[in-house]
Chain A
Amino acid sequence: MEKYDAIIIGAGNGGLMSTLELAKYGKKVLLLEKSNKPGGLATSFIRGRFEFEASLFGLNNYGNEEHPGELYHLFKKLGLQEKVDFVTVKEAYHVYAMDENVDYTMPFGIMEYMEKMEEYVPGSQNALKKFFVLAEESKEALIYIEQNKNKLDASYLKRNFPDFLKVSTHTVDKVLEAIKMPKRAQEILTSCWVYFGSPTDKLSFVHFAASFFSMIAYGLKIPYKKSGELSLLLEEEIRKNGGEIKYNSMVKEILFKDRKIAGVHLTNGEIYETNHLICNISPTVVFGSLLPESMVPINSKKLANSRILGGKGFSIFLGLNQSPKDLGLENYSYIICESLDSHKEYLNKSSLKTCSSMAYVLNNAIPSCSAKGTTILEFNSPLMQDTFIKNVTEKNYFELKSRIAESIIDAFEKTTKISIKPYIEEIEIATPITYARYTGHPDGSIYGYKATGMDNLLPRMLSEEKETLLENLRFCGSFSSTLSGFGATYMSGHLAAKGTLKDIEKEEETWN
């Protein structure tokens, strides 16, 4: 049997991107995927006359030719950027706080954002300016660190990113306090914390700020044909470049020879040989279930046991039989929260009574995404604790998920004063069980490990090489160093491919 230069487990964003990149470098690669299509959560599905987007509500860090984000550069390098039709989402977010009955609409563009904030919170402009300067510096610094991880130049860092260094170990709350941002402005600014899955008293400032900067400066994009278009494009490009993909192929065991990775054994009995693996699945599953016990490094147990799983997915997909205009849905992205205090809100999201959500009117970004006179409205309301899973029984599951969905829709109706329920033509509700089913991730976590304390972005990035605990085994996807989100997981695939190319080179050198 011919041996592969590398095998990639899991065709999520990270797996697809790393496979394509290795294939472009002429490596013989095999991508294994347990389901029958690529993308993982980057997919869509049909109910009745509606095609629902499963997870992408805005591709961050992309931008455009004039203002390219990192992801744009990556797409361009791989020749992808001309092959996707993107639309730009029209406003950043529209946030409602139920406890105070207030709402704020925030635009894209740094200047526009600051002006709008000044309008809502007079006297906030100075602090906002400081925030964006710090945010931009954080973004640049993170790019530098990512590219020079193993040879960081302390004096370069000090010279170019002095303020970044000062805030690099702090939480969002701590830094916003330090720059004296008025409380209300802080709350409006951080109301999209749910994107990160951690409340602002736990989330790293530099992670939040760098992503927030890209979002406001470059805007958010969605492909016309939803995220499946990106996944299928990557699939096609992999094949064009000689890469192989096998679907319905689930790995049962990673094989070793002389204590080195030798290949994979699938549940259907097939065996494929390689010395290099990239896993787009969680280290918890890889080290917990795919390795022979004797090959599990003690540090991988300690590492896994030191981490907490992030929020678990809960989503509602609605096909409505009226147009957004007729319904009164003017915005694209609605953040409905019980409170603007992210810590309080985090606790709310840990209970079964949660009714807060992020809601998206897909038609307000892509008018043609459903039939004329209809609307696609999707809600995300990740659950931050396992209360739901612990309460589910065979008998109550369908009723319980329907009840939670109802309280989320009710809260949306009450807060926005827009009637939704009478117009529901199709509905699908995805719970942590659904996410566990489709991704295989432990407990249906959609954020990978929780971004908190020393498991925030920067500590993960800085320790990544050291934590490559098994030679020639690398990770990508939301459980890896870049954390969750479309932009992040595509980048993680790029980084894993880079790492594996280096591993392959090293191996070749030893042979020569």
Chain B
Amino acid sequence: MELDLKGLNKDALKFKEIEKNREKIIHGSSANAIPTQFRANELAHLFHPQKQFVKVLDIIEENKKTKTFVLVPDIDQKTKRLAYFQPGQCISIQVFIEDGIYKRPYSISCSPKQVLDNNMYTITIQRKPNGIVSNYFLDHVKIDDKFEISGPFGEFTYEPLRDAKNIIAIVGESGITPILSMAEAIYDGILNCKLTILYGVEKEENILFYKRLEELKNKCHFIQVEYLVSDESKSYYEQFSKDLIDPYLENENSFFVSGPLEMYDYVNTLLKDYHLPKKYIRHDAFFGTVDIRGNDLYQVTVVIKEKEITIPCRARETLLCAMEKHGITTQSHCHVGECGYCRSKLIEGTVKTFNDSIRASDKEFKYIHPCSSFPESDVTIELPF
């Protein structure tokens, strides 16, 4: 086809000049050092540090089995500024106990404003009957102890484009910690929503932050709190009811559910009556361990770099738990299979997993999340190093 490109006929000669012209431009530009600092990368580092080093500034005894730890940067380790976070997010904290290396996620219980004003986080830890890490914190951690923690993470946050402006938080026991952070943030003007906290506990003395919650409720009309305590006839979570919830409902409501596993079934059944689309019910990820029983003992071989380490693992124990006990450290954050941080390749054997948050491609190429996988046979996995 004849392309009438008359106007451009002479331009064919310019092709030969391309390299020279480029050279000219490069030659004429500055020979100064290449920039090494970029603001978006600096901000990325500020918001999402891989590690932060902190020390314990203060410990507050909330009740017999619960303590709040105030964490500030450990300047000796070059952490100057703690990362800003969204209320409801957590950090994962690393502890060395006997031969083990453990990482556990804890919700940040203070307002993000505490980072801006005081460069600090608070985490509140309650003793669990067999909790290796919680018992360690309550019995052994003292002021000035130093820890490595992760950057803030987690999706249990208020998102104005998704959630209703009226939030009903259904809370059990220490599940209050992320919700307190949200309430503080509403009070500080950081979150622009209403929050009703329906807070249940086994015994009255288990109520955490009572004074602070009352203060927030009295000072800020966007915040409401109701307390429920188990009695002889009904546990606290059986007292969550339509009668209790209905007075706080508006046209559009989001439910934020945070508490121990035993209350979830009940709460889910209760919320079914409202026929809500899934988007209006959000769960804190920390619903504890899943009921997988069995005492069978399997061998788990962990390939890390070129080394292989074989450790025992019970059928009811996650691969990550077994690794932690034996001092094998890998990346991990959420411990419930959601964040994908501990993603590893299953080389041999089969596992049972309690969470389906694995990408379709990962399933095809046999990647698993060791934090939510239980062995069903002897297993070999390869860590991502």
Contacts and interface: CB of A to CB of B under 8 A. Distances in A.
Interface of A: 36-37, 44-49, 51, 129-130, 133-134, 154, 157-158, 162-163, 165-170, 175, 178-179, 224-226, 228-229, 231-233, 235-236, 246-249, 284, 287-289, 296, 298-306, 312, 321, 386, 389-390, 392, 394-395, 397-398, 402, 405-406, 409, 421, 423-427, 432-437, 440, 442-444, 453-455, 458-459, 462-463, 466
A459 B22 contact: yes
User: Which 10 pairs show the lowest CB-CB distances between chains A and B?
Assistant: A288-B34, A228-B361, A306-B29, A425-B279, A437-B44, A165-B12, A247-B384, A436-B40, A454-B22, A225-B360
B19 A463 contact: yes
Contacts of B84: 394-395, 397
B15 interface: yes
B1 A45 contact: no
A359 to B, nearest CB: 15
Nearest to B8: A166
A129 B361 contact: no
A201 B331 CA distance: 47
Given A169-B11, A284-B34, A442-B38, A427 B162 contact: yes
A37 B47 CA distance: 21
B384 A443 contact: no
A175 to B, nearest CB: 8
Contacts of A304: 34
Interface in B327-385: 331, 338, 340-341, 343, 357-362, 364-365, 367, 384-385
A305 B116 contact: no
Nearest to A424: B162
B12 A305 contact: no
Contacts of B338: 46
A459 B31 contact: no
Given A301-B33, A302-B29, A466-B19, A232 B364 contact: yes
Contact of B3 (A134, A225, A454, A455): A134
Given A163-B3, A228-B362, A305-B30, A394 B116 contact: yes
- A235, A236, A312, A427 interface centre (most CB from chain B within 10 Å): A427
A169 B32 contact: no
- B15, B23, B155, B357 interface centre (most CB from chain A within 10 Å): B15
B48 interface: yes
B161 A425 contact: no
A490 B41 CA distance: 25
A443 B84 CA distance: 20
B275 interface: no
A180 to B, nearest CB: 8
B35 A169 contact: no
A48 B277 CA distance: 13
Interface string B304-341: 01000000000000000000000000010000001011
Contacts of B66: none
Contacts of B27: 302
B129 interface: no
Contacts of B39: 386, 389-390, 443
Given A289-B36, A463-B19, 13 more contacts: A45-B359, A167-B11, A226-B360, A248-B385, A301-B34, A302-B31, A421-B161, A425-B278, A427-B161, A427-B162, A442-B41, A444-B41, A454-B22
Given A166-B11, A394-B84, A463-B23, A229 B1 contact: no
A133 to B, nearest CB: 5
Nearest to B30: A305
B296 interface: no
13 contacts: A46-B338, A47-B155, A51-B360, A166-B9, A166-B12, A169-B18, A228-B360, A301-B33, A305-B34, A321-B278, A424-B162, A462-B19, A463-B22
Contacts of A436: 38, 40-41, 43-44
B162 A133 contact: no
Given A165-B12, A288-B33, A409-B161, A432 B40 contact: yes
Contacts of A406: 160-161
A306 B96 CA distance: 51
A473 to B, nearest CB: 15
A312 B40 contact: yes
B26 A306 contact: yes
Contact of B43 (A232, A235, A433, A440): A433
B48 to A, nearest CB: 5
Given A462-B18, A466-B19, A433 B40 contact: yes
Given A397-B47, A424-B279, A249 B25 contact: no
B159 interface: yes
B30 A398 contact: no
Interface range on chain B (Cβ under 8 Å from partner): 35 or more
B7 interface: yes
B5 interface: yes
Q: Is the interface of A mostly helix, strand, loop or mixed?
A: helix
A402 B43 contact: no
B115 A394 contact: yes
A382 to B, nearest CB: 13
Contacts of B16: 154
B30 to A, nearest CB: 5
A132 to B, nearest CB: 10
B211 interface: no
A54 B17 CA distance: 40
A386 to B, nearest CB: 7
A284 B116 CA distance: 33
A58 B277 CA distance: 32
A178 to B, nearest CB: 5
B218 interface: no
Given A44-B359, A248-B384, A389 B43 contact: yes
B86 A398 contact: yes
- A37, A170, A226, A433 interface centre (most CB from chain B within 10 Å): A433
Nearest to A313: B40
A463 B367 CA distance: 42
B361 A130 contact: no
A446 to B, nearest CB: 11
A458 B29 contact: no
Given A167-B8, A433-B47, A462-B18, A427 B159 contact: yes
Contacts of A178: 5, 7-8
A226 B360 CA distance: 8
B161 A37 contact: no
Contacts of B40: 312, 386, 389, 432-433, 435-436, 442-444
Contacts of A44: 359-361
A246 B384 CA distance: 7
Contacts of A235: 365
B282 to A, nearest CB: 9
A207 to B, nearest CB: 13
Interface in B40-77: 40-41, 43-48
Contacts of B29: 302-303, 305-306
Contact of A169 (B7, B14, B159): B14
